[in-house]
């Protein structure tokens, strides 16, 4: 049975909820403005004037959370049914799938500015347009031979109209236009259908990193790209807490991603009818998929603490329909996204949440896997709020989740692969010239000496001095945004290979995280497929 669009059981309840929320919004907005423009007497007066109306709205809104399903579902009717299916397995027995994740910090303006970001609504629209620009581009790569070049440039910036990348943060610092480079470029047209090309689209690493001998130590194809990877199939976003921002993102993304889950999470007293924990914000999770969503389930972490307890952080698991295999069995995939506890020094809480994630994923897949289906991928991604190089995060680095799910960037507990770049930017530097455009940020990430200035450094253990990096090893900043995949839970006749791992700079100036992408090639054994 298809998912229903509304999170409420009927139109009457949905209407009452909408009325209650409409009463709350003016007071909430004036409070947000009051914090942004601290000391403004006008916003203070308007806040007080709308507070009684907000109280009435709260009395209507709060009780209805007990019967609210924990997400909205938007489905865009495709012009052709073929656009929602994947012909790879049915025709050639192999297919390629692209995934991406990004933390967007789309909070109310007053809170986003604590992360040196602001103008949440404008950022949401700009982010949506940037993502669409990247994922809809031709699969083309340009190798720059100029001596001044730092490496491989993402090609499409010269082939697609550029979206205005003005900074929307709290610091209204003008964005410097990118400096035109005189280059002699060789263009490799790899605009092959990624659904049928397997590993043919591997990309080489940036020259600056190749010169350090980093790529030769590992077989994972990877790159730093100024655009989102072409043909992303499923996109997971974190910290989309603001409802209006989520609607703007949906509006921009729906022409490409026909199936979107947003406003994911619970509100009010949790558990219901108790006062143990009141959730002011949803989970912030936002999922956009090209494939139809067959099943979806959300779980809220019960062990949040401090400011994190105000948001309903948790796990969203979905089952998507890919199409059919050669043997006419259904091909399905599982995709999971999460956002773990944030404060440093509280690794025990994150480990407990990882235990829950492992348990909930297993239960979801056990309950929803059918005998007439072949599972072709099982992916887990999100903002884990710990990295694989900080001594402070040792507990999380050794969690058993990594025994099941594979991290392409990880050499072992506490040790990253040498080509990895961090994903958490230093917030005070977000608008400096070296990182305020996608192209500038790309060049910065490709140079170790510059990465040290703008990527958050590892966190030392309590009462222990930080000795980092080890002699002869590259400096790698905090990577807290992950895309993992698991092979033990997919169909036995399927083999998985990594086509590409991507660090994405297209959202420079729009968020304090660096998005990451993963493309997997799944090949079905021909003998098993024909059974």
Q: Is 513 a catalytic residue?
A: yes
Query: Residue 461: what pLDDT?
Result: 87
The two structure tokens encoding residue 321: 């329909």
Backbone Cα Rg of the chain? 23
Query: Residue 187: what pLDDT?
Result: 30
| Cβ atoms 423, 503 nearer than 8 A | yes
| Cβ atoms 324, 330 nearer than 8 A | yes
Q: 337 pairs with which residues across the strands? A: 316, 381
Helices and strands: H and E segment counts in the chain: 13, 19
Quote the CA–CA distance of 6 and 261 in Å, as a whole number.
11
| Cβ atoms 290, 231 nearer than 8 A | no
Query: Residue 81: what pLDDT?
Result: 67
User: How do beta strands 314-324 and 94-106 pair?
Assistant: unpaired
Quote the CA–CA distance of 414 and 394 in Å, as a whole number.
7
Active-site residue identified among 17, 119, 399, 513? 513
Quote the CA–CA distance of 500 and 498 in Å, as a whole number.
6
pTM assigned to the model: 0.84
462 burial (CB, 10 Å; 0-12 / 13-18 / 19+) is: exposed
| Cβ atoms 383, 239 nearer than 8 A | yes
The two structure tokens encoding residue 313: 């952080």
Quote the CA–CA distance of 232 and 248 in Å, as a whole number.
20
One digit per residue, the tens of pLDDT, for the chain of length 531 reads: 468 888 888 889 999 999 999 999 999 888 888 888 876 888 888 889 999 999 999 898 888 888 888 999 999 887 766 677 788 888 888 999 999 999 999 999 988 988 889 899 999 999 999 999 999 987 555 544 444 444 444 444 444 445 554 455 544 444 443 333 333 333 333 333 334 333 333 334 443 344 333 444 467 899 999 999 999 999 999 999 999 999 999 999 999 999 999 999 999 887 765 555 889 999 999 999 999 999 999 999 999 998 899 999 999 999 999 998 888 899 999 999 999 999 988 999 999 999 999 999 999 999 999 989 999 999 999 999 999 999 999 999 999 999 999 999 999 999 999 999 999 999 999 999 999 999 999 999 999 999 999 999 999 988 788 878 887 888 999 999 999 999 999 999 899 999 999 999 999 999 999 999 999 999 988 654 444
DSSP secondary structure of 20-66: HHHHHHHHHHHHHHHHHTTT-HHHHHHHHHHHHHHHHHHHHHHHHGG
Q: How many residues does the chain have?
A: 531
Quote the CA–CA distance of 156 and 321 in Å, as a whole number.
30
Quote the CA–CA distance of 441 and 513 in Å, as a whole number.
12
Query: Residue 276: what pLDDT?
Result: 59
Look up tokens 């203070």; give the residue.
44
3-state secondary structure labels for all residues of 101-123: EEEEEECCHHHHHHHCCCCHHHH
Query: Residue 264: what pLDDT?
Result: 96
Quote the CA–CA distance of 343 and 310 in Å, as a whole number.
13
User: Taking each helix axis from N to C terminus, what angle separates 243-253 and 120-135, rounded to the nearest 10 degrees?
Assistant: 20
| Cβ atoms 205, 153 nearer than 8 A | no
Q: 102 pairs with which residues across the strands? A: 237
Query: Residue 327: what pLDDT?
Result: 81
CA dihedral 484, 488, 494, 495 (to 10 degrees): 60
Query: Residue 273: what pLDDT?
Result: 52
Query: What residues contact residue 6 under an 8 Å CB cut-off, 6+ apart?
Result: 14, 72
Question: Left, alpha or beta for 62 (phi > 0: left; psi -120 to 50: alpha)?
Answer: alpha
In 3-state terms the chain splits into helix, strand, coil percentages (rounded to 5) of 30, 25, 45
3-state secondary structure labels for all residues of 294-360: EEEEEEECCCCCHHHHHECCEEEEEEEEEEECCCCCEEEEEEEEEECCCCCCCHHHHHHHHHHHHHH
């Amino acid at each position: 049975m298809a998912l229903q669009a509304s999170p409420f059981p009927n139109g009457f309840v949905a209407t009452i909820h909408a009325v209650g929320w409409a009463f709350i919004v003016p007071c909430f907005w004036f409070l947000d403005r009051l914090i942004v423009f601290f000391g403004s007497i006008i916003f203070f007066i308007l806040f007080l004037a709308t507070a009684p109306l907000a109280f009435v709205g709260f009395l209507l809104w709060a009780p209805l959370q007990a019967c609210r399903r924990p997400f909205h579902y938007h489905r865009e009717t495709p012009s052709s049914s073929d656009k929602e299916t994947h012909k790879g397995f049915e025709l050639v027995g192999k297919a390629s799938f692209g995934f991406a994740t990004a933390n967007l910090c789309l909070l109310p303006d007053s809170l986003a500015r604590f992360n040196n970001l602001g103008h949440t609504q404008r950022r949401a629209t700009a982010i949506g347009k940037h993502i669409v620009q990247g994922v809809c581009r031709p699969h083309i790569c340009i190798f720059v031979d100029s001596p001044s070049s730092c490496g491989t440039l993402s090609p499409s910036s010269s082939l697609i109209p550029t979206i205005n990348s003005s900074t929307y943060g709290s610091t209204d610092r003008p964005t410097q236009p990118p400096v035109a480079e005189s280059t002699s470029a060789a263009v490799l047209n790899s605009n092959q259908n990624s659904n049928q090309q397997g590993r043919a689209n591997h990309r080489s690493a940036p020259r600056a990193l190749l010169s350090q001998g980093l790529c030769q130590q590992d077989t994972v194809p990877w790159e730093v790209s100024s655009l989102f990877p072409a043909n992303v199939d499923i996109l997971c976003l974190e910290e989309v807490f603001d409802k209006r921002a989520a609607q703007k993102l949906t509006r921009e993304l729906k022409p490409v991603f026909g199936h979107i889950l947003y406003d994911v999470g619970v509100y009010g007293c949790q558990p219901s009818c108790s006062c143990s924990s009141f959730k002011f914000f949803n989970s912030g999770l936002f999922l956009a998929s090209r494939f139809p969503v067959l099943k979806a389930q959300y779980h809220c972490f019960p062990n949040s603490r401090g400011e994190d307890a105000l948001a309903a952080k948790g796990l969203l698991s979905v089952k998507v329909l890919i199409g059919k295999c050669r043997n006419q069995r259904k091909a399905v995939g599982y995709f999971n996204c999460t956002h773990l506890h944030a404060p440093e020094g509280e690794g025990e809480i994150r480990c407990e949440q990882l235990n829950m994630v492992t348990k909930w994923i297993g239960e979801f897949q056990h309950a929803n896997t059918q005998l007439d289906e072949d599972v072709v991928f099982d992916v887990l991604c999100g903002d884990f709020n710990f990295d694989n190089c900080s001594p402070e995060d040792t507990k999380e680095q050794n969690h058993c989740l990594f025994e099941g799910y594979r991290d392409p960037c990880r050499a072992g507990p506490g040790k990253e692969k040498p080509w990895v770049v961090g994903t958490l930017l230093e917030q005070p530097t977000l608008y400096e010239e070296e990182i305020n455009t996608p192209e500038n940020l790309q060049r910065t990430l490709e140079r170790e000496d510059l990465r040290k200035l703008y990527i958050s450094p590892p966190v030392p253990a309590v009462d222990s001095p930080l000795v980092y990096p080890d002699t002869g090893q590259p400096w790698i900043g905090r990577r807290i945004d992950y895309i993992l995949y698991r092979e033990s839970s997919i169909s036995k006749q399927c083999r998985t290979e990594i086509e590409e791992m991507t660090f994405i700079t297209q959202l420079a100036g729009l968020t304090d995280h660096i998005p990451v992408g993963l493309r997997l090639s799944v090949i079905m054994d021909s003998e098993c497929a024909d059974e």
